[in-house]
Structure 1
């Protein structure tokens, strides 16, 4: 460009000044005045009248805050004042970020804010991208760490599940033979004539088996506490009965050392809400521990109600006491395995696993309590803990005494004992004698009714097979034994069986697999004679043997029992046909003799007091009053041919029987509910007139009511025997 054509420097400066990015802000007479350079207006592409218009949709309070800050700054007009910040504007090219440099000028005594802007959008975007990259890197690192933690947790969970499975199997392997030994010894001592010397040996064997079972339970509980695997299962329990049961379980150990074991219950309430199994385990551990370290005197158990719903448990012994040093470590696991100075003390002759008191402390704390120990060396020791137990409001108050009412189970042993004495009762007890005769006959009829079945037993423990086979032989059953699951499955395919009793953990094929195969065969119609399949195991909870979403019935089991199993449980199992739910055809034979009808009635299962859960025993007598009234009403309705009233009353009484778990009576009342429909269905193919059909319905109702009456009388008689024994 030639000199003559050059732009004047003042005009060039003016042009460059206008194209630069800047804006000014001033307040005159209370109003805001804005001025923007042409360059900035061209970028924004819109009219600007207010401060917020500069930023557009990205409006924030930032500009006003910075302007207010500049106005207040004391050195705002000095040359060294320099305020910089970044803000974003809405432009024709979208969102753009600008670095602002703010200065305060004074013109004609008026403060003017002059803001110059530099487009730094690329730099901001690069910085944001770097931040995002760093964030993604951190997130990826976090995800990787979370994934590693999840994999670790999955491994821990898998290991825990495997350990739980192992412990369940270990429990079975250890407890099954111990329980078999206890059951066999009990059977020998109760049913065979033995010398006093042999009886003493059997007593020692039984006591050793019991102590070993306690140790196994402690080991399993310790393992569960290590993995927070213990869950409490509170239910309504009778505290006096629980305490009496604890006393019965431990008194043989005390008597073996010639120690006195006393139990005093000073509470007022009978029923509380608690985990009875865990509370029993706590008390047994403390009592057995006290007996172990006591040579002379005895052990006293005292339970009292300190405050509302707060129970204090004290176990005091007259043993050799515990030194303060040992008291500090007594609740630690394996405390007995540690020798303080490498030398054995007097207590070390009782060296054991040292888990009992640790387990006690864990269980007491899990139940919301705290246990303490006080001891004087050479005098004795007291363990004390307090628990808050909710009292059942409708439960009876228990008188403060050392006597606990016991309800007698009507079983084979008690019947044999009564049967041998009923002929020598004095005349003054003729009423009681009649009651005894009725109950003895009723129980014998019940045992006879369940006999003559073919039963398959599968258990790899010879002792357990021997015990079960002995019970079944007493019931006139034909027994076939299998030593493992595979043999049981082969035998089932070759021979017909009415019932199958399966141990769970067996070689070659476990009980669950055998049950599944039997179920498949039954569903295909190849085992129509099958009436029930039962799991009988020492493992306790079935969760270790079947999948989480499975139930016993889904794998083919009709009942799940925990060893040791007694004869009464076997009788109950064999009383019921679990597989054939359809009502059997019942025909009226006018030529039947009274004897035949009587025998048919006796073949029905009979209710006795032990069928009723203990927590409902105090309600049985009013239940029977209502039951007898209901029977009278049913008989009257049948005479009046009032079928609808029969259904309603039978349905009501059935509900009561379900509450008391009287399955035989439940079945009978269910028959009464549907007796008309069943009758019509059974005789649909015959040409009967209405009079004949009503006669059939009347006869079936009468026969069912006879069975109901017999069951109710049997239950009443068993209660009478219980009351007589209590006296």
Structure 2
């Protein structure tokens, strides 16, 4: 509602009209919600009453429906009971022995069953009389009565009942079940009185002598869920029979689970708690063979339903299960003593009631929206619109637009407010104009100050570079050996210059931080290693103090995300201050991981401490502890201010704890890096890169005398190390428009065995390079007239790579953006003025060494390429020779394989011939002998028409009529099979005949036929295609002088390839389509007109070949078949056999989609 009012009417959330409308809407909404709740309760109550009445009606009708089959069972049993007693009375004492023996006979297992000759299961019931029963006239009368009754009623009731039967306590049963030969399959040890379907109806289990039902069971014979219903028949107080039906419950169970009210489900169980049907427990019932007891099932919900049903009051059919929030509609099925229960969840009613209440609620909300909308538009015109105009005017004035006047024509409060606003806007406009003038003047002054700082820093660094460089080179002996006093004074000049350069750097950093122009280069940094470097470099500050520097940072501390250069600057400031203000004791650096994903670094000392009233201002610019401290210890008061800004730029914070004469603790936080840790080695290398950063800080803290002595000692050490390490004179080109700067560099480098060349501009440097100067390294100033150092670098990189000719840029500006431009132009490194001599020498040596290694690698690479070219030629020759050897080897192996197979096949064919001859000869005699025996048996049957029972039993056991009819066919099949084996054996001998050293006369048709015989199994139909048809069109050919075995191999290769091509062409085609257009192989032979050549044509109607494939098919090892299905040797060997061995021709004609045809030409 609030959002609606904001968008349609009011622009300000705090308006009076808006708040009034919202309160009204909320009160009306509460009334709607209350009405909706009452409606829901009323609808729910009404639905519950209606549902109970409907459930009562539904369950009564459903109970009658599901009881119908059981009521019909009772009626059937009553009819049979009455008829059975009547017929037994009609028998009287007569003994129907003849009729009994005509219908029934004792089987070999001593059980009496139906006579096999006259028994028709489809119309007559099966009889089972136990082997131990003594057959008396009473038994015969009862059995015949049972038999007649079941014969009469069984087929009539077949449509509703699976079977109909009558059993007796003497262990006999008469059953009509036409589909199942149960009596024939029943074993002799079957004892019916022990079966549930009998004893459930005896007097012990059924004292009321009513129709009773067994439990649910799965009939393995009929494969159905079944229940047996039994009715006992007593005469004179004695049970003489039990009438029964097996009722298939599949339909009832399926109807119970599927035919249900929407949202409900049905279950059936017996009065003793055995579960019959349940939608979620069908598998469990089946596993327990229909004997799943509710009370032991572990289902608490089901147990509660059973208890409510058992506690049901007479006449009650619907009961509420309050614990599970549901209704139970209950019907007791007549006959089996089962309960049919419909479970109706009350959530169905709740959803219906909720839907109606929801409609009422939505209708109320729509009315509310209409009412609020009308009221909104009225208020909008009278109140909201003038107020919105006032708000818009206010925003315009806030944005600086004073060209606006509100309508003051109204005489009410809003008109007076508009007049007051117009007066106020004029006053604000006048003040704004005066402020703009003052701000413009201030911005101009600030811009002049920034430009002055930037230009002054650049201009100061150039002369500072000259002062420091000239002084250091004189100390190093550029003009000869100097007296010690002169050297000391020169070192003081150099030190003072460096302190002045450090002060310039601090002022520039402060200016950048204030204007937020510093960009951090964040990466993972290991704190322990970088602190170790800073502490090592700060050892010079200790001097003669009894002071211990301690690195207490844990080894396993995670890396921080920081700019390594700026982090060192922070540490140098904090540690330098701690050493400065501590005469004895310790300076300790520690760190720990905090809970907010940050690491807290603490620099603690045991120094003089900071007064409490100064702690709040210690991080302000140009702030010292007090005036006397500034005079005693020196400093500008910018170090801590810069450190604080840098820490905050990293996303951290810095704080201090201190006490007078006890020491101070400075703690700053840095974020933990989300990238994997960096190695300590990487940190140390990087720290060497930024070692120059330490010099200004250290020099600002040390006295001139200490620095002069330290620098003098350091110079001698470096000079000595350089003289030992460098034995080669590298050529250095110095390019700078300032003679002083060039002289500084010449003085530094001339002492270390370098050959120096100079250029006063970028154009002169490029001219020297074009004239043939080949320096090993270029020192290049950035700010030069006509052509900057960046432009010179780009020009040089057009012909020289960075590894080939290193370039170090010299610049007075240390902004990251300037350095990035230089590196992108192609520079290898950069140095910031004033230049530190040690850093200059170290970088020159490193880059010159790298360039020399690059040149040596290039030379070795060219030598390696030439050597590799020679080796590739040799390898190519070896590969060609190896390929030829492999080709010869494969051909030899193939030939040996074919020869071995031929010998094996010939041997097998020879060995088959002998036993095959025996079988063929003996089959003809066996056929005659069997015919004689059949004639003899026929004569015997004519002469002896009444055989003994033993002979009859044996004739039935061996099925003599079938044997006499089938035995001649069996002998005929054996003769057909042996003839087939003879044909195969003959073909194998023809195909595998061994070749001699000379050609022999051979009929090609025999070779082709024998090959087809061998491949016949591949031509047969299978589940993917019909049989491949082979069409033979043989001409009149004379015998050909040839090598038969080799030609047979050619036929085998070509015909096998044709079959493969046809199998490949049927992919994805339906079987019926292949039957309509059969796959064929056409074999045609002919003699040429001059009778000098014999031609054999082998053609298929497969996919054919492309021109590219056709050009390669006779190549060695070429194949189009998948890996493992072809070697690429078949056609290559066939070509050699036909062309080289026989002086003939082997041709291929094919095009895509039109099959392929191979033509063999052999000279006669």
TM-score band (shorter)?
A: 0.3 to 0.5
Higher relative contact order (CA 8 A, sep 6+): 1
User: Which has the larger Rg?
Assistant: 2
